[in-house]
Amino acid sequence: MNADLAVGLVLLPMAGALVAFGLPAAYRRALAAAIALGWPLLLLPLTLLVLRDGSIAVVFGDWQPPLGIVWRIDGLALVMLWMHAAVGLAALVHAWPGFAPDRRAAATFWPLWLVLMTGANLALVTADLFNLYVALELVTLTGIALVAITDSTAALRAAMRYLLLAMLGSLMYLAGVGLTYAQNGTLAMAGITALETTPLVLMLAGLMVKSAVFPLHVWLPPAYANAPGPVAAMLAAVVGKTALIALWRVWWLAGDSASQALAMAIGVMGVAAIVYGSVAAMLHPRLRMVVAYSSVAQIGLLLLLIPLAGSDAFVASGFHLLVHGLAKAAMFLAAANIVMALGSDWIRRLPGLDSKLPLEAFTLALAGITLIGLPPSGGWVSKWLLLQQARSNDQLVWMVAILGGSLLSAAYVFRLLAMSCFHASHHARRPIVTRPPRAGSLAALLLALAAALLGLNPTPMLNLLATAWPGAAS
Amino acid sequence: MNDPLVYVLTAAAVFGIGVHGLIAARHLMRKLLAINLMLSAVFLLLLATSAPLGQAPDPVPQALVLTGIVIGVSSTAFALALMVRLVRRQGHASLGRRDER
């Protein structure tokens, strides 16, 4: 077992993408599937290594920092790598019939899917600020191309809005990286000893645009809602989450020098995101927009880690990242099937869903339970730990925010469920337009099940995450 | 005029002009030009901070700028392609409503 295997996490999908662009369109899908299936085989030895040593470091070409690029896989990165593998595989199963080689979009979908996984894995494992910039650019640009793949006016407009804001965000991040380098003489995260407010705020602001923190979220709902189901699942679980992890990591670079006022400001943005996202999700008349706005709210919850700043909050947030990624991907996959079956994504068309598409209704309910944080789902574990941290810090405000956010998410989830199962309407008698493929429904259900069942025995996962807490060393 | 501060201030001013353009311009082409202006400002900042007075310039930021140029060019090319698609679809190059274009 060798830590250099980690290089394969990026090299494998990247080589796959390059080869796929050269292959005839008929074989691209099969190549993507082969790589997605080989992924766990690569992750397994790395997992054993991380469990044994706590973290893996890869130094490229024996060029040590300050000049060389270092990768580091800690518990958090490892958990997220597995989440990418799971969501990637589910998205692949769901996209299998929809992007069959005879479809127009298939020729570009599969290579782009591979590039997206390349960038997402790179963003997780790199411990170098500029490497992170390159990885995030890769993720965002392919994510946007995948949003635009349906070629509808709404999707193109959403992709354009996303692209303009993402470019603004990456510029701010790059400016911050430049200033950080000027001060520290290195780009390796471990070597950064001094981080002043200006570069810190620039980097944070850039990453906030990319991870869609309120009020910089405006690109997110239309982009997620107009993307095909598998793409929306990948955007929610992979693209948004990697930017958020980058945001946490940059914040920890500042260490104790970061001001308390800044942490408070970020916490307030988080609360605003929870309230705004949840209320918008409660009121919006379209199913996929509701799921997308719920992401805005959940991102707000994940921001609370910064003012809470404790090991419990860290473990809870890492765990929530995982379960929310799984649950949200499941919801987007199920929502895509529902839209396909009903021929519309208006919520008033949902009545009768429980008898028309029982699997999808069940998936929505299961994933919804995780979003709300009802026991025994994974979301319950993370919210409980967050509350514990807030209580031990005596930070009542954030406690209220977490509890209020859970209530609000219950409101929008139950609205969907009530409309689907208990609402009498003439729409209930309408026949199904197109029956969605069974494999895609099962993939969504499995993701939702995983998110819900992770709450039953979370301890091993929580212990693994705890080893990655950056405050443990100091 | 070889005080780095002059360049940093210039970079800040150019970046500000770019932000204004990105927000105020309606036509997507103008928005993209504004972003490219900001890109130049960031490169100027990187280079200005890499060469302290009287010392040999640090090559690392220059390498970063080179990578940044590549990424900037590809993003812009992608954005232009997206814009052309959008114009073909909706007949105008803005994200505003048809009536306020």
A161 touches B: beta carbon within 8 Å: yes
Spatial contact of A202 and A264, defined as CB atoms under 8 Å apart: no
Closest CA of chain B from A184, distance in Å: 11
Lowest mean pLDDT, pick from A38-52, A117-131, B2-16, B86-100: B86-100
A160 touches B: beta carbon within 8 Å: yes
Q: Is the pLDDT of residue B98 over 80?
A: no
Kindly write down the DSSP assignment for every residue of B14-44, as one continuous string: HHHHHHHHHHH--BHHHHHHHHHHHHHHHHH
If phi > 0 it is left, if psi is from -120 to 50 it is alpha, else beta; for residue A39 that is: alpha
Residues in chain A: 474
A69 touches B: beta carbon within 8 Å: no
Best of B37, B58, B89 to mutate (most A CBs within 10 Å, chain A): B89
> For residue A370, with 0-12 CB atoms within 10 Å meaning exposed, 13-18 middle and 19 or more buried, which class applies?
buried
**CA trace torsion A81, A82, A84, A87 (10° rounding):** -170
A134 touches B: beta carbon within 8 Å: yes
Residues of B whose CB is below 8 A from A151: 85, 89
pLDDT at A375: 86
> For residue B3, with 0-12 CB atoms within 10 Å meaning exposed, 13-18 middle and 19 or more buried, which class applies?
exposed
Look up residue A10 and give its two tokens.
């990026």
Measured CA to CA, the distance from residue A384 to residue A375 in angstroms comes to 10
Measured CA to CA, the distance from residue A111 to residue A13 in angstroms comes to 9
Closest CA of chain A from B60, distance in Å: 8
Closest CA to A195 of A282, A259, A125: A259
pLDDT at B1: 46
Mean pLDDT of B73-96: 92
At position A289, the amino acid (one-letter code) is M
Residues of A whose CB is below 8 A from B28: 160
Q: Is the pLDDT of residue B96 over 80?
A: no
Look up residue B38 and give its two tokens.
């900001």
Closest CA of chain A from B82, distance in Å: 7
pLDDT at A259: 81
A154 touches B: beta carbon within 8 Å: no
Of the candidates A160, A175, A182, which has its C-beta nearest B95's C-beta?
A160
Nearest residue on chain B to A183, alpha-carbon basis:
B49
Nearest residue on chain A to B20, alpha-carbon basis:
A168
The phi and psi torsions of A453 (rounded to 5 degrees) equal -75, -20
pLDDT at B97: 65
Contact between chains at B64 and A151 (C-beta distance less than 8 A):
no
A175 touches B: beta carbon within 8 Å: yes
Contact between chains at A163 and B75 (C-beta distance less than 8 A):
yes
Q: What is the pLDDT along chain A (474 residues), one digit of tens a residue?
A: 577 888 999 999 999 999 999 998 889 999 999 999 998 999 999 999 999 988 889 888 888 888 889 999 999 999 999 999 999 999 999 999 989 888 888 889 999 999 999 999 999 999 999 999 999 999 999 999 999 998 899 999 999 999 999 999 999 999 999 999 988 888 999 888 888 889 999 999 999 999 999 999 999 999 999 999 999 999 999 999 999 999 999 999 887 777 889 999 999 999 999 999 999 999 999 999 999 999 999 999 999 999 998 899 999 999 999 999 999 999 999 999 999 999 988 999 999 898 899 999 999 999 999 999 998 899 999 999 999 999 999 989 999 999 999 999 999 999 999 999 888 888 888 888 889 999 999 999 999 999 999 989 899 899 999 988 887 544
A388-397 contacts, C-beta under 8 A, 24 or more apart: A388/A312, A389/A308, A389/A310, A389/A312, A389/A313, A389/A316, A390/A308, A390/A313, A392/A310, A392/A312, A393/A308, A393/A309, A393/A310, A395/A307, A395/A308, A397/A267, A397/A271
For residue B99, name the pLDDT band (cuts at 50, 70, 90): very low
pLDDT at B100: 46
Closest CA of chain A from B61, distance in Å: 7
| Degrees, nearest 5: CA angle A258-A241-A220 | 100
A360 touches B: beta carbon within 8 Å: no
pLDDT at A310: 87
At position A56, the amino acid (one-letter code) is I
Contact between chains at A157 and B75 (C-beta distance less than 8 A):
no
Contacts A–B by Cβ distance under 8 A? 85
A218 touches B: beta carbon within 8 Å: no
Neighbours of A63 (CB within 10 A): 11
Nearest residue on chain B to A66, alpha-carbon basis:
B60
